[in-house]
Amino acid sequence: MTHGTGAQGEYRERPSRLPGAAMWTRTPAPGPGATRPVLPDGCMDLLWTEGRLFVAGPDTRAHLPGAAGTAGRHVGIRFHPGTAPAILGVPAHELRDRRVDLADLWTATRVRRLTACVDSARDPVAALEDLALDRAADTGPPDPFLAEVVRLLDAGRSVAATAAALGVDARRLHRRSLPAFGYGPKTLARMLRLQRALALARTGLPYAATATAAGFADQAHLARDVKELTGRSLTALLGAP
């Protein structure tokens, strides 16, 4: 379980019973404070805050929470890349860089009932997880093709090598990727590489070694990509509370 506290409040995370997913909660600290960006990771989330269920689409840049209506405790399930569209019933590219009420995707009556269930639950985290598990049971297992795309790209394979390993051409891989991930495989690879670099850097690995291990050309390439995707330097991200 991941657990953090600081000026921005408390964040907790644990693995979900839904394979590949994670459950998380964020409770803001009282009073004003800096806002930690939500960094792009190739994932989509289903979120609850009292009286509202909504979906965070796949991001291509850092998202800054804190807009009107986003205060208060948030609970979310972060789906493994490529799995949310089947569960939610919407292509990922339609939600790219967006936050959308679940009532815009499902019937309003159904969403009101589900929202009331989570609102009234003693444990909203478990209630949201049960909602996702029920929906996943209705939609069947994840597509193994998509899981293999993620595995190969996250291992540092090029788009061309990934397509070849899967027995498709680059154009078909791109077509399959858009509705599943929200963008093409080249962009997905970039998001996964960013997350690899952040994980390595958080262990204290020097930036030059982090760049090499994560698949960047050099430290300067790492610095540019982090800045373009997050709006912050790697040092600032690592020092965020």
* Domain count within the chain: 2
- Residues spanned by the domain of 209: 144-239
Is the pLDDT assigned to residue 240 strictly greater than 90?
A: no
pLDDT confidence of residue 111? 98
DSSP assignments along 119-137, one per residue: HH-S-HHHHHHHHHHHHHH
Mean pLDDT along residues 176-187:
98
**Residues 64 and 13 reside in one and the same domain:** yes
* Tens-digit pLDDT profile for residues 128-160: 999 999 999 999 899 999 999 999 999 999 999
Mean pLDDT along residues 175-184:
98
**Residues 211 and 134 reside in one and the same domain:** no
Of 167, 166, 171, residue with least CA distance to 146: 166
Query: Which pLDDT band, with edges at 50, 70 and 90, does 10 fall under?
Result: confident
pLDDT confidence of residue 37? 82
Domain containing residue 194: CATH number = 1.10.10.60
For residue 140, give every residue at least 6 positions away whose Cβ sits within 8 Å of its Cβ, in sequence order, or none: 86
Query: Which pLDDT band, with edges at 50, 70 and 90, does 9 fall under?
Result: low
**Residues 135 and 149 reside in one and the same domain:** no
Is the pLDDT assigned to residue 71 strictly greater than 70?
A: no
Is the pLDDT assigned to residue 213 strictly greater than 60?
A: yes
**Residues 54 and 133 reside in one and the same domain:** yes
Mean predicted lDDT score pLDDT of the chain: 92
Which of 139, 165, 192 marks a domain boundary?
139
**Residues 126 and 19 reside in one and the same domain:** yes
Query: Which pLDDT band, with edges at 50, 70 and 90, does 68 fall under?
Result: very low
- What is this structure's pTM? 0.90
Which of 113, 139, 165 marks a domain boundary?
139
**Letter for the amino acid at 77?**
I
Q: Is 102 exposed, middle or buried (0-12, 13-18, 19+ CB in 10 A)?
A: buried
**Residues 9 and 65 reside in one and the same domain:** yes
pLDDT confidence of residue 57? 97
What does the chain come to in residues? 241
Q: Which two tokens stand for residue 57?
A: 């689409």
pLDDT confidence of residue 5? 45
Domain containing residue 104: CATH number = 2.60.120
Of 150, 229, 231, residue with least CA distance to 189: 150
**Residues 224 and 166 reside in one and the same domain:** yes
**Residues 132 and 151 reside in one and the same domain:** no
Of 64, 30, 36, residue with least CA distance to 240: 36
pLDDT confidence of residue 239? 83
Query: Which pLDDT band, with edges at 50, 70 and 90, does 64 fall under?
Result: confident
**Residues 164 and 218 reside in one and the same domain:** yes
Query: Which pLDDT band, with edges at 50, 70 and 90, does 96 fall under?
Result: very high
